Amino acid sequence: MEPMTTKAKVITWSSVVAVVVLAVFLFFKFWFVYSEGVNDGDINYFQKEGFIFKTYEGKMIQTGLKSKPANGGAIQSNEFKFSVDDERIAQQLMEVPSNGVKLHWHRYLGTLPWRGNSEFVVDSIVSHK
């Protein structure tokens, strides 16, 4: 067996480094939990959708008071779009009243088709009215 040439060693090590860099990138993009938190509000819609991968998608309306010095304040609402990849959590969300729901979520830097259309993936219902 002949020893590897310098060119073959460079190609081999470059390939190994490329595979490791790609694996690290994919991990941080799709599996690393960037942040997590809780949102409270009223669920506007929650549905199962998709052509190949059927995922649960929803939108929550969060109301709050926005301070404006000129008129003393105004009602502001924010939308929180989320996905649910756990069938049990999805069934619970379909059964609870849509107002006053508090959801715990994980945020990923990228979406995967089987996990949903949103970077925010709900993993539990903290409370509801």
Same domain, 27 and 81: no
Report pTM.
Answer: 0.75
Q: Is the pLDDT of residue 100 over 60?
A: yes
Q: How many domains does the chain have?
A: 2
What pLDDT is attached to residue 107?
Answer: 94
d(CA 98, CA 46): 9
d(CA 73, CA 86): 39
Q: What is the domain range of residue 87?
A: 34-128
Q: Are residues 76 and 118 in the same domain?
A: yes
Whether residue 2 is found in the same domain as residue 44: no
Average pLDDT score over residue span 33-59: 92
| 48 pLDDT higher than 60 | yes
